[in-house]
Structure 1
Amino acid sequence: MKKRVAIIGAAYRFPGSASATFWQALQDGKDLVTRVAPERWSQEAFWHPDRRHPGTSVSFAAGSLGDVSGFDAAFFGISPREAAHMDPQQRIMLELAWEGFEDAGIPPSALRGSQCGVYLGVASLDYAYRMTDDLSALEASSATGNTASIVANRLSWYGLTRQGVG
C-alpha cells in the first residue's frame, strides 16, 4: 500500500449504549439487543409461530438507537421545518461527523481547500416510505431529506458553508 490511512477520530451510535459506555458494555458481555418498542407496531398483529408465514415475524429482537428526535437543527443551520422532513439517518450522520471532528481535535474549517472526500452509505429509505403515507404533507425538502444520494452532499455542503460553527 503506497498511501496509509490513520483513524484519528471516531464517533458512533450503537443500540443500548452511549459512546462513553460502549466499551464497558462490550467488556461486560452485555447484550445490547432489545425488543422492538411496542409503540412502533403491534407485535400481536405480526407475530406468527411459523417463520414461513408471509408478512409475519417469529422474533421482535431489535438493535434500536432509541429516540432520535433530539436533533439540534439550528446548530447545523437547518430550519426546524426542513429537519422534520429529514431522514433520521441524515440527522445522525451530521451529529456523528461533528463528534468525529471533536474526537480528533480537528476544527471542520481546517479541511477547507484540502483533498478530503466524503464517502458513506445509507442502509434503507424506511423514513421516506413512511412519509408517503400522507402525500399532502410532502414538500420540497422532503426530496432532499430522504434521498440516499444526498447524504454525502449534505455533509460536504455543511463542511464548506458552516465553517464558523462551534
Structure 2
Amino acid sequence: MDSLMDRYGSSIGITGLSCKFPKDYQNPQLFWDSICSGKSSWSNIPASRWKGSGFWSAIKKRNATISKSGHFITQDISRFDVSFFGISLNEATAMDPQHRLMTEVAYEAVESAGMSLERLQGSKTGGNAVPRSRRNAAVYGYRLAQNKPGEPN
C-alpha cells in the first residue's frame, strides 16, 4: 500500500484546529496549558444538568449512579446561532447538542486556518471530528421525527 507521502506528496497539513473541553479550556492553547500545569477539569455534576444527589449511591444498585462528578462542558448549548449556520430552529432543536457543538467547532477550525467557507467550497479538503458518545441520538432524533412528511422544518 502506498504511503500517504507517496500518494499525496507534501500537500497534506494541519492548518486549522479547534476544540471544546470542560471548564474554561475553550481553545487548544488553553487546553495544552492546563495539561502542562497539571490542572484538572474534574468537577461535581453542574446543577444545571441534573440533580446528581438524587441518583447517586455509594454502592452499586439498580437505577443509581456511583459517580457524582466528571468532566462537563459549561457552554450554554441553547445559544446556538441558527441563522449563522442556516439551520431552522426546528432542526436545531432536534439536533443532538454534540452536533451543535461540533458544527461550531468545525467553523472555528476553518477560521483558525485563516480560511473562509467560500474558499473551501469545492476544494479537496477534509476534516476529522470525534464526538464522545451517541447517547442523545434517540432523544433528539425522535424530536426531529415529530415533523410530518413534507412539513417544513
Q: 1:101-116 counterparts in 2 under 5 A?
A: 101-116=110-125
Q: Under a length normalisation based on structure 2, what TM-score does the superposition of the two structures give?
A: 0.73
2:67 counterpart of 1:63: no
Mapped contact 1:11–1:100 kept (Cα < 8 A): yes
Identical aligned residues as a percent = 31
- The aligned residue for residue 55 of structure 2 is 46
2:34 counterpart of 1:30: no
Per-residue deviation, 1:37: 1.6
- The aligned residue for residue 10 of structure 1 is 17
- Spell out, residue by residue over 1:14-47, the C-alpha distance to the aligned partner (whole angstroms, 9 max, x if none): 0012226333322322111111123433323322
Alpha-carbon distance between aligned partners in 2 of 1:140 and 1:123, rounded to the nearest angstrom: 30
- The aligned residue for residue 145 of structure 1 is none
Per-residue deviation, 1:140: 5.7
> Which stretch of structure 1 is more off in the superposition, 55-64 or 9-18?
55-64
Aligned residues: CA RMSD: 2.9
Alpha-carbon distance between aligned partners in 1 of 2:63 and 2:50, rounded to the nearest angstrom: 13
Per-residue deviation, 1:79: 2.0
- Spell out, residue by residue over 1:70-119, the C-alpha distance to the aligned partner (whole angstroms, 9 max, x if none): 21110011122321121112211111111111111112222233223455
The runs of 5 or more residues in structure 1 that have no matched partner are 142-166
Q: Which has the larger helix fraction?
A: 1
- Which residue of the other structure, out of 134, 139, 146, is the alignment partner of 1:138? 146
> Which stretch of structure 1 is more off in the superposition, 107-116 or 71-80?
107-116
- Spell out, residue by residue over 1:119-146, the C-alpha distance to the aligned partner (whole angstroms, 9 max, x if none): 54544333344458x87x93269xxxxx
SS in 2 for 1:34: strand
The runs of 5 or more residues in structure 2 that have no matched partner are none
- The aligned residue for residue 150 of structure 1 is none
**Aligned pairs, how many?**
139
Per-residue deviation, 1:11: 0.3
- Shift >6 Å, 4+ stretches: none
Alpha-carbon distance between aligned partners in 2 of 1:104 and 1:113, rounded to the nearest angstrom: 17
Q: Under a length normalisation based on structure 1, what TM-score does the superposition of the two structures give?
A: 0.68
